[in-house]
Structures are given as structure tokens and as C-alpha cells.
Amino acid sequence: EITAKAIVYSSYGDPLDTIACHSYKLPSKPINGKEVLLQTLACPLNPSDINQIQGVYPSRPSLTKELGTIEPSAVCGNEGLFKVLATGSEVSELKAGDWVIPSNVNFGTWRSHALTTSENLTKLPNDGKLSIAEAATITVNPSSAYQMLTLYVDLKPGDWFIQNGGNSQVGRAAIQIGKTLGLKSISVVRDRPDLKELKEELTQLGATHVITEEENSSREFGKTIKQWTEGKPIKLGLNCIGGSNLTNMARKLGKDATLLTYGAMSLKPVSLPTSLFIFKNLTAKGFWVTENIKRIPGSRESTIKELIKLYESGDLAEIKHDEIEVSANEGTEEEFLAAFKKGLVESKKGKQLVVF
């Protein structure tokens, strides 16, 4: 028998007050022929995981007593990388040692082990070409960047896009993927003491230009942007911030441009000048990678395939993250919980990855 640990919640609220560690027993070998026993290798703490625990995210797992919790509960987390420990007699496509990720959201990835069936899993190569961090974070941030740049507007090499949240993990992926597609980009970032270093870092990744929110809001600076683009219309905008940052960014979009909103880090609404719709024929839409699994069948798999190629060729760098180590088999419930609570606190400073 294995003692598994999982981070669970039984009510919605502030994650630091709501999450708990629950231990439960799993067989050391699958009993049912279709089952696969997994050990977690790494799982990120994404903004949407936090929103799920807060109860403000439209897609969430149902609360059940499946793991033997006293209250109906759900396991936190949607993204993560697992190693196959053992397979049932009817599983032919996976073997011990393989790397897998959940095929769908709401899997509950903040846990040490899992017992599931093979149809819930997608195999990833573990021949050394993908790092654990790359594999554990492939489905949300880089997938979103890839889909936003390729599925909505027919962008050709030399075309421009603009984005805010340029230093977010989605933004960084968009910069790099954009470069491989031959696109030119303008990324809006928040001002900071080490702005020069951040600009250099993002330029190294492939950003054509990086501007601050102040520059983004300045009419005068608009002329500089027109010089950069040499009169070419900016065809696509990616928005994960909202508020005045977005309003000012949208003013830079060209005729017939598309604006995709995928996040709201400022917690402010999307407010767009009427003139952009009337005189520039702006199209403003939402983007949700989770919905695209259903809306564009096969998109998740084909996106992952393309991203693996980009990681293997070195065109896409591992997500910038901090690692928090925790043991899958040793340690107490308190230690397990403390690791995830640390991750929640630190996630305001950057992407946190819990590694096992």
C-alpha cells in the first residue's frame, strides 16, 4: 500500500484558509485492469487554480467523498506531470517510468500520487528533450500563447502583435513563439527598478520592443510606435491585464484588428473606446484554453505537439519559475501543506512549481 497525500478544499474561500492536506491509501499495484498508478513529478500553482479554490472560476471539479474525506472535497490543481509507477493488465499504451499529464482539466494535480484510468492521460516524451518543468507546465501558459497567435488571426511573417502582461509566463511564451513565427511584437510591462534588465531579458527571448505602462499611456510615445511599425497595422492584441493598461494598448491596434482577452490581472474591466469599433472595425473576443479543448477538437493535442518541437529545438525556454521541493513518500501532512501554502504566498512574485 502507498500513503498518498493531496491538497484538498471542501469549501470556497481564501486558499490559505481553505486548503488542507488529506492522506489516503492507494494499492501499490492497480487492481482494475484499466487503471494506472502515478507519482507526481511536479505541479505548478496557476492563477486559475487559485480562482477555483476561491470559487470564482467557472470550471471546477465537483466536491466528493471519493478520497475518504469527512466533508465532500476536491483536490486542487489542474496541471502537472506524473510518472507511471504501475499499470493494470489491460493497459498497453503506457508502462512504468512513462511521463504523463492529465488529458483534461479538474484532474486535481496537487497530490503525491494518483490512481486513474489511461484514457484520462496524455503521454509525453521523457527522453531528456523536455525538462520536468517544461512538461509540467505545457498545457496552460505556452499552449495559450501558441493558440492565441495561431488560431484567431492569419498572421504572416513580418506582422505585428501587441500584448500587455509581457512579463507573465503567457506573455514570455508569446514573445518566443511569435519570434519563431516571424512576427514582430510590442510587450507592455509594469515599470520597476530593474526595468532595463527586464527589457534586455525579454528582448533576448525575441521581443521586438518592450514598453512601460507609462509609455503605453502617452500620446507622444504613440508616434514612436508608429515609426517602429512603419505604418503597418498591428493586427492582434493579447490582453491579460484589463483597466486603463488595456484601453491604452487597444488604441495602438490597426484597422480590422482582433483583441483577445484572456486574463484580468488588474481586476479591472475591459473598457474600449467606441471609435475603435466604428472606425477601425475592431473585433474583441475572449480566449479560454479550457474551452478550446471542446470548441476546437484536437487543439490541445496539436498544440502540445508543436510546443514539444519548439522546446526540443531550443526556440522556447523553460518557464521562469521558483521550485518548492516536497517529498512524495516521506514527510508529514503539515510539511506537505506548508509547501503548497508557501507556493500560494510566493505566487504573487512569480510562477511557483512544486517538485517531488
Nearer residue to ligand NDP within complex by CB, 140 or 284: 140
351 binds ligand NDP (CB under 6 A): yes
CB 91 within 8 A of CB 118: yes
Q: Give the one residue of 39, 40, 168, 247 binding ligand NDP; rule: CB under 6 A.
A: 168
Question: 202 to each of 46, 174, 233, how far by Cα in Å?
Answer: 21, 11, 23
d(CA 287, CA 170): 12
In the complex, least distance from residue 48 CB atom to ligand NDP, rounded to whole angstroms:
5
In the complex, least distance from residue 307 CB atom to ligand NDP, rounded to whole angstroms:
14
Q: Which of residues 183-202 bind ligand NDP (CB under 6 A)?
A: 189-190
212 binds ligand NDP (CB under 6 A): no
Count of residues in contact with ligand NDP, rule CB under 6 A: 24
Q: Give the one residue of 288, 331, 346, 355 binding ligand NDP; rule: CB under 6 A.
A: 288
* Length of the chain counted residue by residue: 356
Q: Which residues of 265-277 are buried (b: 16+ CB within 10 A; e: fewer)?
A: beeeebebeeebe
Q: What are phi and psi of 121, to 5 degrees?
A: -125, 145
In the complex, least distance from residue 17 CB atom to ligand NDP, rounded to whole angstroms:
21
Cell numbers given for 319: 518557464
Alpha helices in the chain (DSSP H): 15-18, 47-54, 132-136, 141-150, 169-180, 195-205, 213-217, 219-229, 243-250, 274-280, 289-295, 299-313, 333-346
Q: Give the one residue of 9, 146, 160, 287 binding ligand NDP; rule: CB under 6 A.
A: 287
Nearer residue to ligand NDP within complex by CB, 118 or 167: 167
The single residue of 9, 12, 24, 57 carrying the catalytic annotation is 57
Q: Which stretch binds ligand NDP (CB under 6 A): 81-89, 107-115, 287-295, 308-316?
A: 287-295
146: annotated active-site residue: no
Question: 272 to each of 159, 214, 264, 276, 277, how far by Cα in Å?
Answer: 23, 18, 14, 7, 8
Q: Give the one residue of 289, 307, 308, 354 binding ligand NDP; rule: CB under 6 A.
A: 289
Nearer residue to ligand NDP within complex by CB, 262 or 336: 262
Nearest one of 105, 104, 122, 134 to 38, comparing CA atoms = 122
Q: Which of residues 237-276 bind ligand NDP (CB under 6 A)?
A: 240-241, 245, 262-263, 265-266
146 binds ligand NDP (CB under 6 A): no
Nearer residue to ligand NDP within complex by CB, 254 or 263: 263
54 binds ligand NDP (CB under 6 A): no
**Strand 352-355 with 35-45, pairing:** antiparallel
46 binds ligand NDP (CB under 6 A): yes
d(CA 202, CA 256): 28
Q: Give the one residue of 139, 169, 299, 303 binding ligand NDP; rule: CB under 6 A.
A: 169
Cell numbers given for 339: 509547501
Which positions lie near ligand NDP, rule CB under 6 A? Answer: 46-48, 140-141, 144, 165, 167-170, 189-190, 240-241, 245, 262-263, 265-266, 287-289, 351
Active site residues per annotation: 57
